[in-house]
Structure 1
């Protein structure tokens, strides 16, 4: 289905920089708006835009580009000490205040966005009515272990190519990038050809990989950045917001990486999308919108 056009777009001043955002639907709707946190870090909002169709259910949907990517301020000269979880938490709080929705909203975070959403939720923000953690690990240690396992299931020549180029530090080589695509088609997005909005996000990461390379690393499965030891497992009991977990049967965020959310968040349910990998919002779009929409509807009065 077509991605709906935004009702408004703008720039929210954030310190000396700007956060670009778009709103689909009407923020004055009786239903609490949904704020979508994209992945990466540094992947841009584009690949999550089908979630904007929740506006068809009379709910405003807010997308934004996190600092360092897309239409927000780029800071390629900044180093690892600048790109922190706390920076992106502050940016989210600033956007909520700018839009005037801090007293009542939902958050949906996809991949890294779900990690950020969990960090937001453990702080127990007053206005958070519902939380959707989509295709996200509770710990990067678990993520790295599971990616290693998934890599061992790749064809032997593909895995050998990946290991050789990682050891040599030549992860930009065309052979490495071709091998990366084999993994991605299994565990990131199983739709071929790759949807246009996913290509758009990929292009923006390629254009400025500062955040992605600094915090994550060169690929989804070779995590050598500052997030490599991140975890929220020990704080999940602090989450008070009702929570929906989303993952795909073929997801790089395997059940083992998601399980701590299910084990430790007090009010939680988990939806596994059988025909999806890392992007069920694209791979099983209609079912995804139905499941997420119903969950949010049930939490609006909370």
Structure 2
């Protein structure tokens, strides 16, 4: 079959990630490679031009691989790269070079308070400026977007895929109306009826600062965002989504919660444009995701070079709660695309 479905029954996930391919020698992986970022431990503040002025965004390089360089687009919007720190436990052992990156408005980057900056087109141009500054191109450049980052990754590919070697859409559907329908038809009915009624009252009053609003959503977050009690959530996730989330970005674009979207992105839909993305693309979906896993599988079938990774134990943050399966599938995809390009 032209397309493949990664599954536990293949036995792939029992293998250590590093066995998927021979990594570069350790000295090569940690080589500075003539780059000036050694002084900053791989960190660079990259100047970004916008319609309202010039700002800086934070990036950090890990590793050195001339053929596989992954730029990570975090979720939110308005969260941070920090939730991706679990990648440190898997990608270095496999020799993959990757870049953390806080988008404009996020904690480690500049945080201008201007609604004119909150458009997908402007974020796409920001990613393109970051790509140029980092020297990434079609011979090595993989873009991985999670959640809102998946929206941004799709938009980037539709405009700049000539610079891409591969694309990963992690835990994101290509239609916000479809996301909202799934939330309404499947996720909301799972909530206690009294809790759902109170949530709707708070929403109607726009009383999002009320502590009850977040309290009532905890069962949803623990079942569909990251499948652990919130008291046990990994510290990088707590930093990214709780301590460092910029709600001046998140709320206008997404809305007040992860239970559907009601902000600027509410009408966003690129499903009919997926056939225009011709680079190898991996779509990652999970059984307990906030997004419909069958919809994400359908997306992979619309993509000319699409594959689907289904995670039977995962939720929206499947790189934590179905971790071994997530990274085994991701690394297999990265190396397969690289092998096909040789």
Distance in structure 2 (CA, Å) of the matches to 1:263 and 1:222: 24
Which structure's residues are more often helix, by fraction? 2
How far apart in 1 are the matches of 2:146 and 2:82? 12
For residues 232 and 204 of structure 1, do their structure 2 counterparts lie closer, same or farther at Cα, with a shift above 3 Å needed? Answer: farther
2:120 corresponds, among 81, 85, 104, to: 85
Aligned partners of 1:238 and 1:265 also within 8 Å? yes
Matches within 5 A, 1:147-158: 147-149=183-185, 150-158=187-195
Distance in 2, matches of 1:260 and 1:171, equals 34
- Alignment partners' CA distance in 2, 1:110 and 1:222: 16
Distance 2:323 2:294 in 1: 24
Matched, 1:254 2:292: yes
Residue 114 (str. 1) matches residue 150 (str. 2): yes
For residue 275 of structure 1, the aligned residue among 288, 308, 313 is 313
Q: Secondary structure at the match of 1:86?
A: helix
Structure 2 equivalent of residue 238 of structure 1: 276
Q: Distance in 2 between matches of 1:162 and 1:115?
A: 27
Of the structure 1 ranges 142-151 and 6-15, higher mean CA displacement relative to structure 2 is found in 6-15
Contact 2:297–2:308 (Cα < 8 Å) also in 1 = no
The equivalent of 2:46 in structure 1 is 12
Matches of 1:85 and 1:74 in 2, distance apart?
17
Q: Is the Cα–Cα contact under 8 Å of residues 282 and 300 in structure 2 kept in the other structure? A: no
Q: TM-score w.r.t. structure 2 length?
A: 0.82
Is 2:233 the counterpart of 1:194?
yes
Mapped partners of 1:93, 1:124: distance in 2: 8
Aligned to 2:37: none
> How many pairs were matched up?
293
Q: Quote the Cα distance in structure 1 between the aligned partners of 2:41 and 2:270.
A: 35
Q: Given the two structures, how large is their TM-score scaled by the length of structure 1?
A: 0.92
User: Superposition pairs for residues 35-50 of structure 1, below 5 Å?
Assistant: 35-50=71-86
Deviations 1:53-92 (A, max 9, x none): 312211111110000011111012x12x321001111111
Q: Determine the C-alpha separation between the residues in 2 that align with 1:259 and 1:293.
A: 19
Structure 1 unpaired stretches of 5+: none
1:67 aligns with 2:101: no
Q: 1:85-114: CA deviations, max 9, x gaps?
A: 011111111111111112431011101111
- Offset of residue 255 of structure 1: 2.2
1:226 aligned onto 2:264:
yes
Rg larger in structure: 2
How far residue 30 of structure 1 moved from its aligned partner, in angstroms, is: 3.4
Tell me if 1:145 matches 2:181.
yes
Partner of 2:171: 135
How far residue 200 of structure 1 moved from its aligned partner, in angstroms, is: 0.3
RMSD: 1.7
Q: State whether residues 123 and 238 of structure 1, in contact with CA within 8 Å, keep that contact through their aligned partners in structure 2.
A: no
